[in-house]
A and B are shown apart, each in its own frame.
Chain A
């Protein structure tokens, strides 16, 4: 388990005696434990790195309890990258076959049914490929209907896989990099066979995988293929006036994605879209000092019951609901069907941005 990565070693050395992000750490706040914090993790990883103590299963638990929300890094004046350290450590744990049972279950699930063929390709060809990326999802059919409604209004044909390959991002976050690459290569091949030039996905993880991980894994899509998160794509449609939208009259707010906080990325596009359609009815979530209000999308990457920390998902949902209530918002718009899977929280409706947009047509 010796860490070779220079940056990871710097993070271990910096974080093991530093408490300054305690208030921000999602898993630390929810579990109220010392070990589920960047300091707790770094302390234990130092011991393993220096071979002061043997590897212990309780270390695995705390490494996998991290939600990867990035609040610690965001708060840190030195910008030490704890999420990167956690992912690197998960890779080592996974290579030793020691991840927790729930992570192994997810892996099994994602590796199954990866045998794709010509029959799984779209029946009709079109420039735009809609890749849901969150199979299985309880409302997959509805999500597709929403996209269909929008595209029909815009007069743009699109294609979808009959059966979708996994994109690998969840496996990567769980430390199974080789498996992630394997799944990604299948998706890559299937996308190539569609001859599309645009891939639109409502899922942040899928979007990140296609945009970032695929190139780094040597699986870059053909240069002609552009990848969009739905918020980016819908913004384009709205700006190009390809669809007529009703004005949003309810007060709405946006729950940012902790994984896609890039100022040019999906969250920025969603914000612009909301401002465009909701005007004064759009409310920013009050975030003290711009602290991350984690949605848990990296922790709950799959629609299986994988809750290593009791009440974590519910707590994160409640934190966002409380902030929304403070902002006076009647509805919370989420950036991914994953995080919008629960239709409401604490009495405040949550809606995926795609579904919300479709309602305005």
Chain B
């Protein structure tokens, strides 16, 4: 009997929801600054359940995932303070680098998505109703 492949949940959030979302840095992450302005983020990883002796003796396992960011990426990560919305981040990035809002929007949102996939940040959505609370 074959199982149906599970469909990946695709979310197409409206621009409004994305801009109002707030990125939070992973508190368990350790950051090491680099001399070129970049940084190395070290994120602790959960040990897979199957990785017990003797399998763990054979399969190499790293307790941390290391992600290296250049100066631009590090700048965006440092801006994620748990208070600023994605829109604020884009505005700051655009003014820092003399970009239009749309240019900065595409770059920053793509980068935030990648950082979220790698576990560096979590992006919490907010809607208008939540803001008034």
Q: Do A and B come from one complex?
A: no
